[in-house]
Amino acid sequence: MEAQSLAVKRAEVEWHNFASFGQPERALAVYAEQNRRRGLVIRRHLDFIGPMTPFLEIGSAAGHSSYMLANEFGEDGFALDLSADALRHGIHLMDAWGLERAPVRVAGDAASLPFRDCSLRFVMAYQMLSQFMNMESVFLEVKRVLAPGGVFLFAEEPLKRLLSLRLYRCPYYEHLRPWERKLYDWGLLGYLVRDVIGAQQEESFGIRQNHSMGIREWHHLITQHFAARQYQIFVPERGWGERVVKRLAVKLDPYGSEWRAAKLLGGTLAAVCRKAGDAAGAAPAMPSFETLLRCPDCRSDLARDAAGALRCEHCGYQAALEGGVYNLLPSAEKKELYPGDREDILDCSLPGHVSRLGEGWHELEGVFGNMYRWIGPRATARLTRVLMTPQRLRVRGYLHENSFAGGRHPRIEVRVNGSSAGAWDLDRTGVFVLEADVPEAGDYHVEILASPVWRTAEDDRRLTVILSTMRLIPRE
């Protein structure tokens, strides 16, 4: 089974741009709370974990937990994520939190890690394994790069819930309807939804979610690959609806543990897993970091030149230090996930997007990597085909709550070269992604028709929705 398709990886890169940069103050508050929780887990299992240098965090987003490990625990290592832009946000973390030490930041793929065999003592991952259809591929890579006796800590991974009717999927709390929020606050919404609250929102973005793992399935996967392990489970208590069931399940458990409650109500799992073999003695100092890496194309050694770039003498692969980040994705993936300012892409975060704009766009707004433009009832753009494979149009935007004022129902239609490619009725505020196949052509004239149109007292522009990217992608 493929671990992740290229389409999912593309969506994850886009998601981290939005999530990390769209609301920097909110993101910093979320990161701080996550680090508080994650620090507590590490400290609880510190005797089992042992020395952590050199460490690696996979799926690190902005790398905030890697900064915690470097500054609060004094360890040295790497923060790795598919999104180079999310990793670049680390400079803002250092400024906002007054940090002195930073991890080496690497854009890379968790299912194909650019590290040498047995090169690391500690690998950690948070909220990322469930984004792989084949989680075992990540376990195999982690086991490969860990030194004998090294430790893999993963946490905040969902446990499949038994007590649920699995009727539908929900977005995150801030995008719930009023009646859904009331049920959530009472602890009853979890009995209706199919999987983790928030999964629907990420799925609609193109990120696939694997929520098939219960405690038994996690334990089976871990024991296949690791010699020893410690677990910590967290069972929700959202309102009286979950609190009553959790307390009853704990009372009926023969050991008074929360394992039975976790089977019934789900929750999240933290696992600390040790690789077979004898660990080295005292933790060595962090070596020159390039000595721990390998070429993502040919798997040969990488060297660092006088300009700070990483190079492979065997196949010629190279990665410059760009904004504090080395992009060590395989060449084919890097070309597609980071295409730059291309004629088949309208990305408001790139200066060249202006040449592809037509009518109906307002001025550029936004911060960091999440730039966008409001449109009126009609906006046009022109994209030129670059790849010869069958194409699909992907449009990313944001729906404001004013679109729902007065009971109105937002609608977006996309026309390509004069013909309708699709029409969508949207029922929630927040980020949306629309995708539609497009016919064979060299150039594409794209029209976006959106309603309802609204204004505010402070702004006399005619507004409908926000658009941030529009691009042609290969069909899969």
For 310-335, the DSSP string reads EE-TTT--EE-EETTEEE-S-HHHHH
Number of H helices, E strands in the chain: 13, 24
Q: Cβ(114)–Cβ(78) under 8 Å?
A: no
Higher model confidence: residue 368 or residue 434? 434
Q: Cβ(106)–Cβ(80) under 8 Å?
A: yes
Instruction: State percent of the chain over pLDDT 70.
Output: 97
Distance of alpha carbon 244 from its chain centroid, rounded?
33
Cis bond upstream, residue 54 (ω within 30): yes
Give per-residue pLDDT as tens, 261-274: 999 999 999 999 99
Q: Which of 158-172, 194-208, 386-400 is predicted least confidently?
A: 194-208
| Domains, the chain, ordered by start | 6-274 (3.40.50.150), 345-474 (2.60.120.260)
Q: Which of 18-27, 109-118, 192-201 is predicted least confidently?
A: 18-27
Instruction: Identify which of 44, 58, 110 has the alpha carbon closest to the alpha carbon of residue 270.
Output: 44
Tokens of 90: 């680390």
Cα gap 404→399, rounded to integer Å: 9
Q: Cβ(85)–Cβ(21) under 8 Å?
A: yes
Confidence at residue 371, expressed as pLDDT on a 0 to 100 scale: 84
Confidence at residue 459, expressed as pLDDT on a 0 to 100 scale: 85
Q: Is the per-residue pLDDT at 340 higher than 90?
A: no
* Beta carbons within 8 Å of 231's beta carbon, 6+ residues apart: 219, 269, 270, 271, 272
SS3 content of the chain, % helix, strand, coil (to 5): 35, 30, 35
- Counting Cα atoms < 13 Å in the Cβ hemisphere of 302 gives 26
Q: What mean pLDDT, rounded, does the chain reach?
A: 91
3-state secondary structure string across 347-392: ECCCHHHHHHECCCEEEEEEECCEEEEEECCEEEEEEECCCCCCEE
Q: Are strands 321-322 and 466-474 parallel, antiparallel or unpaired?
A: unpaired
Confidence of residue 210 (pLDDT cuts 50, 70, 90): confident
Q: Is the per-residue pLDDT at 21 higher than 60?
A: no
